[in-house]
Amino acid sequence: MVNLLVDPNTLVAPDFTLATYARRRQTWRAAGLTEEQVIAALTAEWETENEHDKLVWEEQTAAEAQAARDQALAAEEAANLRKEAARLEAEQSLKDEMKKNKEKYVAIPDRPIPAGTLVMAAPYAIRRLEKGQYLELYYYTNQGLRAAAAEVSQVNDEGLTLRENGDGTTTWVQAATLRASKSVIPDQELTWAQLREAVTRFIPAMQRARWARDRVTMLTNFWGNLEIHPYQQSIDPIDVKALIVYQAEQRMRWHQAINSDRGAWNLSIPSEEILKETRDCVYRADRLAQDAETTMEGPSAPRLQAPDDPLPRHTRIARHLFRTAQATEYSPPAPYVWGATNTK
């Protein structure tokens, strides 16, 4: 269809009496029409064509208007897409920024300064507990908390590393959350005082990490049973050392067994048989240490037991070897040192 350049509604019929149209009039006159009939016929013909052009013009202008609307809509949609893309990019950029610099964006509760000492464990320890994984009690001892506090001012802001998530994706996190402390003390080497320090903080930490209530209760009872065990008040340091080693080995075994075919067990059910075996191992280790010490001293070494010393020689040497297993001063029996928790 030919596009019209002029609106036919603005046109008027030409004057067919003019000399310009003489040849066209002559053609009609040859057909036997009068001059008046020829002019009338030419005028009628023009008006018919003009009416047709008006319809064409109407369709043409409607199509042009629709095309303009479509173009404007497409331009608007393109602009909206660009805005949305820019918004998503800014949103993702903010998310990345919040992940890299959590401390800048973490929500601050509207509450007063808390009284007392804050228990701020190392990021690595917090993350291990949040994942329900095994964690040495050292991180919640006084020594472990002091080490964590000292490391806060030494964290490198650019110390980021990629962590693989469970769904196969990766996330930038502070390397400190994935790095164990170099000064960590294994559980079996803790003193009884350190064990108490740690457990009273470890139980609430498990609750904050959303451990299952039954697991928190089980571990609370596990440590509580050791606190009231007769070995705990024994004058023989080997007995106390046996409790420390027992809890260290059995908690580690329990974590290892969780994902095994047979699963784990209830740690709060004490096993006197295993505890006795553990004590025997500790005793044998003590005897080996005594033999090594005796060998190093030689035959001319001074006597280790004074005549008026009421304790047997092996007890005194054990006390020397495991002197860190108990506090330096006697403490009266504690009823259930871990009983005052929010577990039921």
Low-confidence ranges of the chain (pLDDT < 50): 156-158, 160-163, 165, 170-173, 175-178, 300-337, 339-344
Among residues 34, 64, 99, the one where a domain terminates is 99
Do 126 and 87 sit in the same domain of this protein?
no
Q: Residues with Cβ < 8 Å from 270, sequence gap 6 or more?
A: 225, 229
pLDDT, position 153: 56
Number of domains in the chain: 3
Do 226 and 289 sit in the same domain of this protein?
yes
pLDDT, position 30: 84
**CA dihedral (205, 211, 216, 222) positive or negative:** negative
Do 129 and 158 sit in the same domain of this protein?
yes
pLDDT, position 109: 86
Q: Which uninterrupted H or E stretch holds 160?
A: strand 160-164
Do 200 and 324 sit in the same domain of this protein?
yes
Instruction: Compute the distance between CA of residue 121 and CA of residue 148 in angstroms, rounded to an integer.
Output: 6
Decide: helix, strand or coil at residue 267: coil
What is the distance, to the nearest Å, from the Cα of residue 235 to the centroid of all Cα atoms in its chain? 47
Do 86 and 167 sit in the same domain of this protein?
no
The identity of residue 203, as a single letter, is: I
CB 43 within 8 A of CB 13: yes
Do 211 and 323 sit in the same domain of this protein?
yes
Do 221 and 257 sit in the same domain of this protein?
yes
Among residues 99, 123, 140, the one where a domain terminates is 99
Q: 34: domain range?
A: 8-99
Residues 271-298: pLDDT tens digits? 999 999 999 999 999 899 888 878 776 5
DSSP structure class, residue 236: S
Among residues 151, 169, 185, the one where a domain terminates is 185
Do 192 and 181 sit in the same domain of this protein?
no
Residues 86-118: pLDDT tens digits? 999 999 999 898 888 877 888 888 888 877 667
Do 330 and 198 sit in the same domain of this protein?
yes
Burial 78-90 (b: 16+ CB within 10 A, else e): eeeeeeeeeeeee
Q: Answer yes or no: is 105 within a domain.
A: no
pLDDT, position 299: 52
Do 337 and 248 sit in the same domain of this protein?
yes
Do 222 and 73 sit in the same domain of this protein?
no
